[in-house]
Chains A and B, each alone.
Chain A
Amino acid sequence: MKSRTQRKLFIVFVLAGITLAGYLTYRALQENMLYFFSPTQVAAGEAPQRTFRLGGMVVDGSLKREPGTLNVSFVVTDNVHSVPVKYDQLLPDLFREGAGAVIIGRLNDNGEFVGEQVLAKHDENYMPPEVADALEKARAAQGQ
């Protein structure tokens, strides 16, 4: 036999549990959210100090490699502003100059973007929607 108080206590515990679980889920989600910023936003100083995603077109002829090492640098642009990127791992198969790319990483003190991961796993005709959007916005802003 459950008394009334016992039942109330049970409900309070369940609600407290759900609230706690919800809060923890929210925190975990928030900590792992990676926001997207375009080169224009980075130039305007809107980008945070923490890790984020940078996307745009890789500028033709900007890909430079330190001979014999994995260190590369290239420039990502939305045709209005550009951001230099440094990277020291294998570039994915579909990474090309003149194509869209999204890079996860953070800004260093010299205003360079230090990449941790370059995303270019989609097929070559495919443009990451965020990059397409960023290019579109930059074009519109320039036209004004």
Chain B
Amino acid sequence: MLRYSLKRILQSALTLFIVITVVFLLMRLMPEEGYFGTGSDKLDAAQKENILRSYGLRDPMYLQLKNFYSSLLKGDLGTSIIYRPKVPVSVILKGKVFYSLYLGLASIGVSLVLGIGLGILMSQYKGKLWDKLGTVYIVVINAVPAAVYYLFIQLYTTEWFKLPILFDVDKPVSWILPIVSMSLGSMAGYAMWMRRYMVDELNKDYIRLAKAKGLKNSAVMVRHVMRNAFVPMAQYLPTSILLTIAGSLYIEYLYSIPGMGGLLIDAIQRQDNPLVQALVLIYSAVSILGLFLGDLLMALCDPRIKLEHQGGSR
């Protein structure tokens, strides 16, 4: 376990290093207009050159990279140029991280609970109405682009249930729609997985034995099938985190949530290079961390490791 974790940590660190370096180098290929801020047409060539020099963009590449890493290690993510001129990115982010974090965690929780519930429901009514409805839901969510169904959810649920159309921190009702929308994708994944697992498992010998002992169907489900099903569930968690991150880009923009996802889109549209760079780095780091934790969780949940523990305690 320890060896596996160490190897996995090294792998993640290497990935992070490659991603950061590549992102930094690619960003240097961007057109330089992004560095002059508003009123760039009034500057002549010499002034532009001076600005670029002051940002250190005329230094040799290895020096730029070295400076970048040393400031990154000090927690300095750079300074915004256009979005909020001359304000450090970390200051801009400070007020925004929490919205994204809360929404993301809430939607992961919601999708886990609802997705597993739906999967169990579908496997219990296999081939009947619930199963068919669930299948339609899974197909639609998987096939139709998220941007499209998010739009329709915002358009119609706000009318039907009289929910606020935009996000407002002080109104808890306005949190419902963004969280639910963000959960839909991973929910479909969990439901699909859970259904398949339960259906496969129902034909196995230990279930038939449990039934032959005279256990009630619900008891078999709770004590045997579900306990086994939860263990490999961890496998899907990393993907779920990635889906949530991608979802947050749309959702925060759509509901005007002042989080990081909406900020990235703003920064892209205004071509604020340092801000885009910082946000892309943060998103990569978060996903790499998420994948790492998911894999670790899976290794922890592995039944063989559990067996070892039981053996030791006896």
Q: Are A and B a genuine interacting pair, yes or no?
A: no
